[in-house]
Amino acid sequence: MPDIVAGGIYMSAVKIIGKNKLDGSVRIQGCKNSVLPIIAASVVSGGRSVIHNCPRLSDVFSSIAILRDLGAKADLCGNTLTIDSSGVNSDTVRPELMSAMRSSVIFLGALLSRCGAACISMPGGCDIGARPIDIHLDAFSRLGVDVDSRGTSVCCSASNLHGGSVALPFPSVGATENIMLLSCVGRGVTTIYNAAKEPEIEDLQNFLNGMGARVFGAGSGVITIYAAKKLYDIEYTVMPDRIEAATFACAAAAAGGSVYMNPVVPEHISPVLNVLEGCGAKVVRYASSLLVVSDGMLNCAPFVATGPYPGFPTDAQSLVMSVMSVSHGSGVIVENIFENRLRHAYELCKMGADISVHGRRAVINGGELHGAHASACDLRSGAALAVAAFAADGETRIDKAEYINRGYDGFTEKFRSIGANIEGMNDDG
């Protein structure tokens, strides 16, 4: 994708020489898991959306490619994304664009709202699990959407769309967001019970209401949407990325040093910060920023179990596994959200980590790590391998680093600015 290369964010591998302390301050990017549904939501209004604090990520460029293919105009200048969705003339996201990222499923609700019909190909699973969309489609059906899923494609019609109540069997983030986009324009009142409570849901609610929607309850588990007749132009600033903040916090804890992160909403990652404090790191929570100080000599967290917000975020699970791998003592991690999100343990073992995996549980015996040649399994495990490499003795090369490009804007530059010996390499080398 030319934008990625042009944006200078493309890298296929990362090389790190460990044992440098991390000292300094970093600016936290706009939130990937907020901006992606917000970009899809911009299709609903048929107007102009100016989105500030937009991170320059390959997933954002993939979303821009989908917008343009649908007929919208979309341009990212610095960290401001300007979208004009008046020209949307298609209700179908082409398979080759769908497959670039999982969250393209979120265009389903937006296109149904805007066009009354939508066709996507199944977003497919990835290395962390099957990632079906049954919860999305069951909820859509209960709200009158005619769902025709054949093979790998899903085509829907909203000609009989009506309000109603849907109770999610699991507080799925994507399903909650898709129902919000489906129900925000048209007629009737829709209530989502057992809705996801993640902060990104609240950011989407604020964006929709800024366009003239009437969505209430984000963060509470019960979301009520009063369908509006029309949505309007908006200028909006995306919230900070709590998982990027967790990444820098874990890196500071593992490598040692003092890292100040801004902007951060500390309570958005309380479970992660509590674990790091329990390991012996010093955490200072300011109103909208965060400081983590560590001597790098940590005690292993005894037990970490991921869960829906406000539980321990699954996206920080691999990051904390890296911290535990370089700590003193033993601990257990249980991954309750995705069925296959412990694969990075095997990559950490290449660096000398002592980790055994049994189903959704990993048992970690902390100790010293050494540099190695490892591969990212998904976006967050790529970052987690870097966290381990900062604390490891010697050189580590992380392949499949394009995963990191998906979720981190300026990953190597930011870590280099606080003292890490890190270099991004593209296919040439």
If binding is defined by CB under 6 A, does position 379 make contact with ligand EPZ? yes
Instruction: Strands of 306-353 (E only): list them.
Output: 330-334
Give the range of 64-72, 124-132, 201-209, 263-271 binding ligand EPZ by CB under 6 A: 124-132
Site size toward ligand EPZ (CB under 6 A) is 26
If binding is defined by CB under 6 A, does position 30 make contact with ligand EPZ? no
Closest to 109 in 3D by CA, of 156, 73, 72:
156
Q: How many helices (H) and strands (E) does the chain have?
A: 15, 23
Q: Which is nearer to ligand EPZ, 45 or 247 (CB)?
A: 247
- Residues of span 322-351 touching ligand EPZ by CB under 6 A: 337-338
Catalytic residue, from 54, 77, 115, 126: name it: 126
DSSP lists the bridge partners of residue 49 as: 83, 234
- Residues of span 98-117 touching ligand EPZ by CB under 6 A: 102-103
Of 56, 114, 136, 400, the one binding ligand EPZ by CB under 6 A: 136
Cα–Cα distance, 352 to 336 (Å, whole number)? 26
Closest to 317 in 3D by CA, of 339, 300, 333, 297:
333
Closest to 382 in 3D by CA, of 123, 127, 143:
127
If binding is defined by CB under 6 A, does position 382 make contact with ligand EPZ? no
DSSP lists the bridge partners of residue 51 as: 81, 236
Closest to 69 in 3D by CA, of 111, 7, 11, 34:
111
If binding is defined by CB under 6 A, does position 124 make contact with ligand EPZ? no
Q: Which is nearer to ligand EPZ, 204 or 300 (CB)?
A: 204
Shortest Å distance, C-beta 336 to ligand EPZ: 9
Tell me if residue 250 is catalytic.
no
If binding is defined by CB under 6 A, does position 174 make contact with ligand EPZ? yes
If binding is defined by CB under 6 A, does position 380 make contact with ligand EPZ? yes
- Give the burial string for 49-73 (b: 16+ CB within 10 Å, else e): bbbebbbbbbbbbbbbbbbeebebe
Residue nearest ligand EPZ, Cβ-based: 174
If binding is defined by CB under 6 A, does position 19 make contact with ligand EPZ? no
Tracing tokens 């990222």 back to the chain, one arrives at 101
Shortest Å distance, C-beta 428 to ligand EPZ: 28
CA distances from 85 to 138, 144, 181, 302, 355 (A): 28, 25, 15, 50, 49
Of 16, 26, 35, 36, the one binding ligand EPZ by CB under 6 A: 36
If binding is defined by CB under 6 A, does position 407 make contact with ligand EPZ? yes
List interacting residues with ligand EPZ (CB under 6 A).
32-33, 36, 102-103, 129-136, 170, 172-175, 196, 314-315, 337-338, 379-380, 407
Active site residues: 126
